[in-house]
Amino acid sequence: MMLRVILASRDMESLARFAAGLQQDPQTEMTWVDSAAAALDAVGRGNIDLVVFGLELVDASPVECVNQLIRRNPMINCSMVSGMEHDAFHEATEGLGILMQLPPSPSAEDARALLAKIDSIAVQLGGLAGAGGVE
């Protein structure tokens, strides 16, 4: 199934190796944006599965953008580049459901790890499809 990804960053170059890793998966379709406004606009048009944020956007912080995004569509997965220590990152993004913290200038291997994580969550969600309940 096609995975539709938005790469959102002021600095596209810093995500180049990561993007190359994503593109190795033929089922991945990427769109580049540099602002929160453009990311939210793309999400509003639908069919987005994942938004990957670089360190900065031109008009807002990535955390602010995720806060807006999950109000519009909480089902979209988000990942974020951050140089913070793990605990500080967790504290800063608690409750936002960030799938994975990416290191500055993430690699193709980081892209593959993120795709694997998305697959694992899809399996977890798929495993619930047969769960019962009261009628």
Partner 1 sequence: MARVRIAIPSEGEGGLDGVRSGHFGHCDVFTFVDLEDGEIKEVSTIPNVEHSQGGCMVPVSLLAQHKVNALVVGGIGMRPLMGFRQVGIMVYHEDQRAEIRPVVMDLIAGRIPVIEDNQVCGGGNR
Could you list the residues that contact partner 1 (CB under 8 A)?
A: 63, 67, 70-71, 73-75, 77-79, 91, 93-100, 117, 120-121, 124-125, 127-129, 131-135
Q: Give the nearer residue to partner 1 in terms of CB position, either 16 or 100.
A: 100
Of 97 and 103, nearer to partner 1 (C-beta) is 97
Residue 72: other Cβ atoms inside 10 A: 10
User: In the bound complex, what is the minimum distance in angstroms from residue 13's beta carbon to partner 1?
Assistant: 26
Widest distance between CA atoms in the chain: 53
Query: Of 38, 82, 42, 76, nearest to 60 (Cα)?
Result: 38
Query: In terms of CB distance, is 17 or 117 closer to partner 1?
Result: 117
DSSP 20: H
Minimum distance from residue 63 beta carbon to partner 1 (Å): 8
Q: How far is the CB of 128 from partner 1 (least distance, A)?
A: 5
CB closer to partner 1 out of 26 and 127: 127
Residues 6 or more apart whose CB falls under 8 angstroms from that of 90 comprise none
Task: Provide the minimum distance between the beta carbon of 87 and partner 1 in the complex, in angstroms, as a whole number.
Answer: 13
Q: How far does Cα 50 stand from its chain's mean position?
A: 4
Query: Is the distance from CB of 118 to CB of 3 less than 8 angstroms?
Result: yes
Q: Per this entry, what is the length of the chain?
A: 135
